[in-house]
Chain A
Amino acid sequence: MSQPLPSRPHLHRHRLLHAGRPALASALRIARALFISQYALMLEFRAEILLWALSGLLPLLMFSLWSGAPAGAAAGISPQAFARYFLAAFVVRQFTVVWVVYAFEEDNLLGRLSPLLLQPLPLVWRYAAAHLAEQATRLPFVVVMVGLFFWAVPEAVWIPSPHRLLLALLAAHLGFWLNFLLQHAITMLCFWSERASALERFLFMPYLFLSGLIAPLDLFPEAVRRFALLTPFPSMLYLPAQLASGGSIDALAGFRTVAIWLAVLIPLNLWLWRAGVRRYGAMGG
């Protein structure tokens, strides 16, 4: 084309999207199509997803231990408070699970990555949509589990106040993105090593012990608690669970930690992605 198109500058900036449409509408359309197609795909795997969801029973196991443990009573936390905290933790965990490194590694090893990289859409959005669609698939299961829990432990029934619930939902969703970005950073190492998923364990272990999955952070020794709160892990579980269950929490400090980590992880992921794709091209050529 010899003629420049000064009247439609967005054509250059968003030349991958449809010309003539406002960029936002186009992006929304793509997001919707991605989500719907991934949701249909996830429904095919609902039996597997049910098993995955069932493997997240640890918070309920910890509840049954803590509600009878003398150490819990000594710390001044009632069995009812434990029940609410760990039920909230169970629900939050269900909607913050991330498996991008495994999906990416499989796509890479099976040679599916090259055609996906050719698509006019950064790959990360496809995986993000798959995760969100999987969360939607888990929703009915989580509702049933919450119902069963309330039936078994009726004294735990509570309705969070609207503003706490909204904050908890926001915190849980931001926690998902934090978790996703952390694992996505490891995923990018797949461009350099065939088995980057082995490193994921070193992300999961601190998550397991520092996020609040095993106990509310209030039960930790002071030094460990302060250290844990510097890491991104409590933002993925303790913060939203505590908000939802009505426990005491410094929400402002919690959201500040989330913001700081997002500010670190987003540029890091962009940089790793660009370096990785350049290397991938070099490997193929």
Chain B
Amino acid sequence: MNPASPIGRYGRSIARFWSSSLAAEMEYQFNLLIEVAATLTTLAGSLFTLSLFFGRGQKLGGWRWEEALVVLGVYTLLNGFASTLLRPNLGNLVKQVQSGSLDFVLLKPMDSQIWLSLRTLSPWGLPELVLGVVLVVVGTIRSGARPDTTALLTGTLMLLAGITILYSLWFVLAATSIWFVKIWNATEVLRSLLAAGQYPVSAYPASLRLVFSTVLPVAFLTTVPAEAILGLASGGSVLTGLVIAGLSLLGSRALWQFALRHYTSASS
């Protein structure tokens, strides 16, 4: 890649960022054991909870057990993404606003939103990422769905859309720390609401279903990607998912630029 091009420059910087943060985290290898144990226990608990809804051949919101596994797999995958990138980076953003070191980030010859979103990489979300993929594959195979290339492509696309929406939600929340310094507790609220994504959105009553497809687009985080992989997604929901992903990314960008105009550093 041409070293002078901005993409090459950003790519090389991010590669350096990530290799250095991985090297730093490798100091704590015992953590990996704890994370693997915690991920396995959580997954066992989530599977147990889900199984309670499928007693004797029962369905949940029209979904069979094997299909619901795909939803849980996508949820686990997104959780892994949040632990790998969102929580460490956006947690830092809040700290930098509090301490005033955000000033130095703004002075760097790099886009501040990209720097803040990609500066570190935590390997501790890896077990969740792997188990999420395993669950998606197992659920897809056992449900009898044989996804063709189109289904796999749409599934990947919807997964990327889900990741984009999740990122935007987190970033918007973290960016509001420019105004409300102690926003971090709000991420706990977000996390507890996103837990709704462990189940197919059709399992909820109509009023909540509406909330989960509009205000808090949980439906497009887990249900629609799972539908796409299983070949059940309608063209309309795929299109809506893409539009919401695009809009939320633009929204996070616009909010960040608006926030920076209001940023007056920690001391003033």
Contact = CB atoms under 8 A, between A and B. Distances in A.
Interface string B28-68: 00010010011001100100110011111011110000000
B28 to A, nearest CB: 9
Contact of B204 (A65, A75, A198): A65
A64 interface: yes
B115 interface: no
A74 B56 contact: yes
B38 A64 contact: no
Main secondary structure of the interface of B (DSSP, over half): helix
A219 interface: yes
Contacts of A208: 45
Interface stretch (A26-34, A48-56, A161-169): A48-56
Main secondary structure of the interface of A (DSSP, over half): helix
Interface in A36-66: 47-48, 51-52, 54-58, 61, 64-65
Interface string B176-205: 000000100110110111011001000111
Nearest to B208: A64
B203 A68 contact: yes
Contacts, number: 74
A71 B53 contact: yes
Contact of A71 (B41, B58, B192): B58
Interface in A194-242: 198, 201-202, 205, 208-209, 214-215, 219-220, 224
Interface string B20-33: 00000000000100
Contacts of B38: 201-202, 205
A277 interface: no
Contacts of A281: none
A95 to B, nearest CB: 18
Contacts of B205: 64, 67-68
B122 to A, nearest CB: 14
Contacts of A120: none
A69 interface: yes
A48 B203 contact: no
A220 B42 CA distance: 17
A6 interface: no
B55 A65 contact: no
A115 interface: no
B25 to A, nearest CB: 14
A220 B204 contact: no
A70 interface: yes
A212 B189 CA distance: 21
Contacts of B185: 48, 51-52, 55
Contacts of B41: 202, 205
Given A70-B58, A74-B58, A224-B48, A54 B203 contact: no
Contacts of B191: 55
B55 A71 contact: yes
B55 A75 contact: yes
A214 B37 CA distance: 21
A71 B204 contact: no
B192 A55 contact: yes
B212 to A, nearest CB: 10
A58 B192 contact: yes
8 contacts: A47-B182, A55-B191, A56-B192, A69-B53, A69-B60, A71-B60, A74-B56, A215-B52
Interface of A: 47-48, 51-52, 54-58, 61, 64-65, 67-71, 74-75, 198, 201-202, 205, 208-209, 214-215, 219-220, 224
Interface of B: 31, 34, 37-38, 41-42, 45, 48-49, 52-56, 58-61, 182, 185-186, 188-189, 191-193, 195-196, 199, 203-205, 208
Given A55-B185, A65-B60, A69-B53, 5 more contacts: A52-B188, A55-B191, A57-B193, A61-B195, A74-B55
